[in-house]
Amino acid sequence: MESKFFLTGSPGSGKSTVFMKILEMISSQDFKVGGIYTPELRITGERVGFYVRDIASGAQKIMAGVDIVSVYRVGKYFIDLDRFESVAIPALDYAEKECDVIGIDEIGRMELFSKAFEQKVNGLLTGRKPLLAVVHRNYIEKYKEKGILYTVDVVNRNQMPGLIFFKMTRLLRIL
């Protein structure tokens, strides 16, 4: 039975919302969830960057922003790889060792500037532990063969959490 689940879709389709809802549902069944997510940083309603947050501990740092000094850039955002890795790598290590499910939001260009992150993700993809990850649409080809890919859109985003939750919990009960 497949243990890797990927979410993709257009910007604003609800990928991260679906991701968080699934993890909340899994946690409510007494399964331990760990990993990372990358919520937006907004100031007066304007997106100015992104955090990287450890799902299990809540630890977070600003990983990308318009005012960060870095050679790594996506659009108007500059990425601080040291900050990103200082939260992401320990969070993923913890999830791999201590949790029932690993969550990653997201696998995208910003995150993949980090070779340590890419290596960690590749290792997690070969493991038995269930994984739920949001994959940026530009990286679908690289990851789609490694698990089950779901495309989130405005039509299915309300049903998607229940569907994937059902499949993941069924898998967790037999592992």
Q: What is the pLDDT of residue 1?
A: 56
Please report, for residues 55, 71, 93, the alpha-carbon distance to residue 33 in angstroms, rounded to integers and kept in the order given: 7, 33, 12
Rounded distance between C-alpha atoms, residue 115 and residue 119, angstroms: 6
Q: What is the pLDDT of residue 22?
A: 97
Q: pLDDT of the chain along its 175 residues, tens only?
A: 589 999 999 988 999 999 999 999 999 999 999 999 999 999 999 999 999 999 999 999 999 999 999 999 999 999 999 999 999 999 999 999 999 999 999 999 999 999 999 999 999 999 989 999 999 999 999 998 999 999 999 999 999 999 999 999 999 988 7
Rounded distance between C-alpha atoms, residue 91 and residue 73, angstroms: 23
Q: What is the pLDDT of residue 175?
A: 75
Domains of the chain by range and CATH? 4-37+90-174 (3.40.50.300)
Short-list 43, 44, 64, 42, CA closest to 52: 64
Using N-to-C axis directions, what is the helix angle for 115-126 and 81-98, rounded to 10°?
20
Q: What is the pLDDT of residue 5?
A: 97
